[in-house]
Structure 1
């Protein structure tokens, strides 16, 4: 059945990473989420270099005062040491979560195997794929199939309002599933791409609507429609669970990689700060021609801020991912109390 377009009542009022309508939004998404973190950090460091050179060209700052520069170099060394120490502490905290006894490890493995069995039964597949992208594709196909069954079974229902609402809901599911499938098929299939696609799929909202339809209209729905709704609820629940699992795994790996990169850049940053001090260590002032001094010092400052640039790049992504997946199941903190197709009271009437 060709379901009608979803109206505002079925909008989630949440973030959808699959819909980016203008260049500014795409740039923001690239900076916050999509862009390679090393490239984002490099651009931040390059921006610092250009910023100091530009201020020097405008005459707003000067690099001839050796006392001010050496004090700045000392502060940068202390700040870099503090940042590296903080990152090492974060790394130790992450590692502490990986320690487990044999019994805990066995329980965790059994939980993963049980979850994969549930997915296999729901998606009618011999065994779910090991790849996160393929795993999500399998769940998306199962969601699409359940929504198709629901749409077909509700066609011609005597309650036209209910038929329209189901049509709008299933159309929203179709569009989200197609967008997810397109993202996974035409993107580089790494772990973050799969997680990004899962974030863009608004499973919590769809789960909320499906449960509302199931509980409010159980007496009006046919057995086929009720079964399709139950299957859809199971599919969406498994999808949300998979998303949380991939998110946890990704954040652990991302923060560990950030710790490694901070150590790698921390040593050059400290050496660069020390070099700034040595350049101005001569009693006669800077030991370099004044014409090259602004560019050399600005470049060394850019190296010094590299660990801070990495911190900004990684925190932007991890904070964005965590914020966009803050809701668990149909509990959506971004949703307005009176928004959506269902009354917040106990009434059975549609708004």
Structure 2
């Protein structure tokens, strides 16, 4: 298993994002900006930064708003860019909607698979039926994982092999600790907010599944049948969580992208009108129709409105891309892990 206590502990650690662990202000802002923050607030922050940047460049003398030809060319480019962006978003929305259309056979298969999954969750949690609320489903699976970890620790508590007893206990303690953090997050969340999905995404059940499988097979000769069965129960609960996480993540992202499409259409018309207004400000042969003192600020505000669809695009795509990147795994196949990041040392033919 390893030559030292530290090495053994590392093999039991999760290398995913850790729910509930405190971080520094920079890390907290980074997480808020990427996935945790309200997307409209993030888009507003991006727009505010653009406004401050344009005004600052004007105050420093880097740019000016005196030459009408330059400003009108920029306005024309912004109109064309806004049309292209809105068209792209509409295409994305159509792609999302196309996933909702299916034949009777495919709809039945999808429905039956969801029913089978819900029955598995109900059986695992020992309840009559699985709740309809997604957060409650995740909470039940987390409760099952915690329960199976406690049962596993109790089962190996009397094992004669000290290494088995201590290693499995450390592993189950880690599973329980992380399950408690996710449970606290889920209790304060609803499916309409991203915090519930974020808790599911950050819970690194893939690594726990990998460790459980390795420990079960590594200590197969030292484990009692009851302990082996308990390992299987824990592995089954972790698999259920993986399936639930993928289902709810997909559903949420569909809703998220659909909402993004709506907001982009809402912002598209004001954006195009603002770009046109920028050009009309310089349509008079005598120069801009507003005073030179306020002109830079008026044009800066209009530019921010023109770029509002782009700010929305940045805020929503950052979240969807981050979520997809952090969940780019199937079971214990974890491409985002470094090969040297605490895996168990194994060699071909070791069990022969």
The answer as to whether partners of 1:13 and 1:334 remain within 8 angstroms in 2 is no
CA distance in 1, matches of 2:235, 2:193: 25
Residue aligning to 1:72: 74
2:229 aligned residue:
227
For the 8 Å contact 1:12–1:335, the answer to whether it is kept is: no
Give a deviation string over 1:111-160, Cα, whole Å, max 9, x none: 10010001111111111111111111100110011000100111132221
Unpaired segments of 5 or more residues in structure 2? none
| Corresponding residue of 2:123 | 121
Of the three residues 51, 54, 72, the one matched with 1:52 is 54
Structure 1 residues 166 and 341 mapped into 2: Cα distance closer, same or farther (>3 Å)? farther
The 3-state SS of whatever aligns with 1:41 is helix
Paired residues of 2:191 and 2:197 also in contact (CA < 8 A): no
State the match for 1:213 in structure 2. Answer: 215
Deviates more, 1:310-319 or 1:161-170: 161-170
Tell me whether 1:107 sits opposite 2:106 in the alignment.
no
The 5 A counterparts of 1:175-186 are 175-186=177-188
Aligned ranges 1:1-351 → 2 under 5 Å:
7-187=9-189, 190-340=192-342, 342-346=344-348
Shift of 1:23: 0.7
Check whether the contact 1:337–1:344 (CA below 8 A) recurs between aligned residues: no
SS at match of 2:99: helix
**Alpha-carbon distance in structure 1 between the residues aligned to 2:342 and 2:166:** 15
**What displacement does 1:347 show?**
6.5
Under a length normalisation based on structure 1, what TM-score does the superposition of the two structures give? 0.94
- Compare 101-110 and 211-220 and name the one that shifted more: 211-220
Cα offsets for 1:30-70 (capped at 9, x unmatched): 00001010111111112111211122222221111111000
Contact 1:17 1:199 in 2 (8 A): no
Q: Equivalents in 2 of 1:49, 1:339: separation in Å?
A: 43
1:201 Cα offset (Å): 1.0
Tell me the CA shift for residue 15 of structure 1.
2.7
* Greater shift in the superposed pair: 331-340 or 149-158: 331-340
- Counterparts of 1:96 and 1:186, CA distance in 2: 34
Q: CA contact under 8 A between 1:214 and 1:226: conserved in structure 2?
A: yes
Check the 8 A contact 2:16/2:203 in 1, yes or no.
no
Deviations 1:298-331 (A, max 9, x none): 0000000000000000000000110110011000
Tell me how far 1:20 sits from its aligned partner.
3.9
Q: TM-score, normalised by structure 2?
A: 0.94
Deviations 1:220-269 (A, max 9, x none): 11122111111101100000000000011111111111111111101100
Change (3 A) 1:9 1:181: same
Q: CA deviation at 1:283?
A: 0.8
